[in-house]
């Protein structure tokens, strides 16, 4: 059994029919379906659920309605994504808190700092304000965090250290850093969300491969960030860049991620699949 520890199925890219990526025993295929059919296919492949973090505040309602239309379990996380902070009125923080109190999410997020997409001081300041708001909210509700940290580890880690006694675990999603950075988050009680970045061939993947080899298995979760973070274009044999850009990542590629983790660590596929499942249940305290 597999749980996708990070996917966005409420995203508008999953409305109507869409092309999505599947993994067929080691090779990728591109298929078309609507969300309901994709969920049925995931269920048949043993992907029994996903954690659905918020991106934008406007999307939370949409996100909550998802749970009723599917055989798979969708556990919610509530928050404002770092790149959406600038467009979200600061006064809406009370609404976000109210949602989090009303809908019993399993986590707060995604939240953190994204200094790759946001370079202006004003945007970064907004992200910082929301990040701290989410940290306090998660503490009040005793919930784990879904962290999105991009090109900002050296700014996020001191904040997390300051709040160390008020943290309740969580995951650094789409982690791609080196072993030292991984260790810094793990020592604060966070797991690492490993997705398709591990399947890439650029230099950054070397650091990540090293991390995946060295950290304890109990610190690893598997994720896709669907519809985003696809494996490399050459590997999914897209005819054109345009076709690749239209393609949605899906939780169906999780066996490829697990296979790569197992290969790097010299462990059996089944061992890693079982461990990442148990880790996800533990981190988010899921009631299965
Ligand atoms: Zn995400």
pLDDT tens, the chain, 288 aa long: 999 999 999 999 999 999 999 999 889 999 999 999 999 999 999 999 999 999 987 777 778 778 766 889 999 999 999 999 999 999 999 999 999 999 899 999 999 999 987 778 889 999 999 999 999 999 999 999 999 999 999 999 999 999 999 999 999 999 999 999 999 999 999 999 999 999 988 776 899 999 999 999 999 999 999 999 998 888 888 878 899 999 999 999 999 999 999 999 999 999 999 999 999 999 999 998
CA of 174 to the centre of ligand 1 (A): 8
- Alpha-carbon span 283 to 190, nearest angstrom: 8
CA of 225 to the centre of ligand 1 (A): 5
H, E, C per residue of the chain: CEEECCECCCCHHHCCCEEEEEEECCEEEEEEECHHHHHHHHHHCCEEEEEEECCCHHHHHHHHHHHHHCCCEEEEEECCCHHHHHHCCHHHHHHHHHHHHHCCCCEEEEEEEECCCCCCHHHHHHHHHHHHHHHHHHHHHCCCEEEEEECCHHHHHHHHHHCHHHCCCEEECCCCCCHHHHHHHHCCCEEEEECHHHHCCCHHHHHHHHHHHHCCHHHEEECCCECCCCCCHHHHCCCCHHHHHHCECCHHHHHHHHHHHHHHHCCCHHHHHHHHHHHHHHHCCCCC
CA of 125 to the centre of ligand 1 (A): 21
Query: CB neighbours of 13 closer than 8 A, spacing ≥ 6?
Result: 227, 248
Specify the pTM. 0.96
Residue 192: phi and psi, rounded to 5, are -115, 125
Residue 147: phi and psi, rounded to 5, are -95, 135
CA of 106 to the centre of ligand 1 (A): 15
CA of 54 to the centre of ligand 1 (A): 8
CA of 223 to the centre of ligand 1 (A): 10
CA of 81 to the centre of ligand 1 (A): 8
Token digits of residue 254: 């999780």
Token digits of residue 41: 């296919």
Cβ atoms of 85 and 126 closer than 8 Å: yes
Instruction: Calculate the CA dihedral of residues 87, 93, 96, 102 and round it to 10 degrees.
Output: -160
- Alpha-carbon span 107 to 74, nearest angstrom: 12
CA of 7 to the centre of ligand 1 (A): 6
CA of 53 to the centre of ligand 1 (A): 7
CA of 285 to the centre of ligand 1 (A): 20
- Over residues 3-26, the pLDDT tens digits come to 999 999 999 999 999 999 999 988
CA of 51 to the centre of ligand 1 (A): 10
CA of 55 to the centre of ligand 1 (A): 7
Cβ atoms of 232 and 201 closer than 8 Å: yes
Backbone Cα Rg of the chain: 18
CA of 29 to the centre of ligand 1 (A): 23
CA of 26 to the centre of ligand 1 (A): 25
**Residue 61: what pLDDT?**
75
CA of 230 to the centre of ligand 1 (A): 13
According to CATH, the superfamily of the domain at 1-12+34-53+173-288 is Metal-dependent hydrolases (3.20.20.140)
CA of 52 to the centre of ligand 1 (A): 8
CA of 127 to the centre of ligand 1 (A): 15
CA of 214 to the centre of ligand 1 (A): 25
Smallest CA-to-CA distance from 54 within 117, 1, 97 is with 97
Token digits of residue 52: 């659905």
H, E, C per residue of 159-217: HHHHCHHHCCCEEECCCCCCHHHHHHHHCCCEEEEECHHHHCCCHHHHHHHHHHHHCCH
């Amino acid at each position: 059994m597999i749980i996708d520890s990070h996917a966005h199925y409420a995203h508008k890219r999953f409305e109507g029919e869409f092309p999505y990526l599947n993994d067929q025993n080691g090779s990728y295929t591109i298929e078309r379906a609507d969300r309901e059919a994709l969920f049925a296919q995931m269920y048949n492949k043993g992907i029994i659920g996903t954690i659905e973090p918020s991106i934008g505040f406007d999307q939370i309602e949409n996100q909550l309605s998802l749970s009723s239309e599917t055989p798979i379990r969708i556990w919610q996380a509530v928050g404002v994504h770092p790149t959406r902070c600038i467009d979200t009125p600061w006064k809406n923080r009370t609404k976000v808190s109210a949602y989090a109190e009303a809908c019993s999410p399993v986590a707060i997020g995604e939240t953190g700092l994204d200094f790759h997409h946001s370079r202006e001081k004003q945007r970064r300041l907004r992200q910082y304000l929301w990040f701290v708001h989410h940290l306090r909210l998660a503490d009040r509700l005793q919930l784990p965090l879904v962290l999105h940290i991009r090109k900002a580890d050296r700014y996020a880690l001191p904040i997390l250290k300051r709040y160390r006694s008020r943290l309740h675990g969580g995951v650094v999603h789409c982690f791609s850093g080196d072993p030292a950075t991984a260790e810094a988050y793990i020592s604060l009680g966070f797991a690492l969300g490993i997705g398709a970045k591990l399947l890439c061939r650029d230099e950054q993947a070397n650091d990540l491969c090293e991390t995946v080899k060295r950290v304890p298995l109990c610190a690893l979760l598997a994720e896709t960030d669907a519809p985003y973070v696809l494996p490399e274009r050459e590997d999914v044999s897209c005819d054109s860049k345009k076709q690749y850009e239209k393609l949605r990542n899906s939780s169906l590629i999780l066996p490829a991620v697990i296979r790569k983790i197992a290969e790097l660590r010299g462990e059996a596929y089944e061992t890693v699949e079982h461990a990442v499942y148990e880790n996800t249940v533990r981190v988010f305290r899921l009631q299965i």
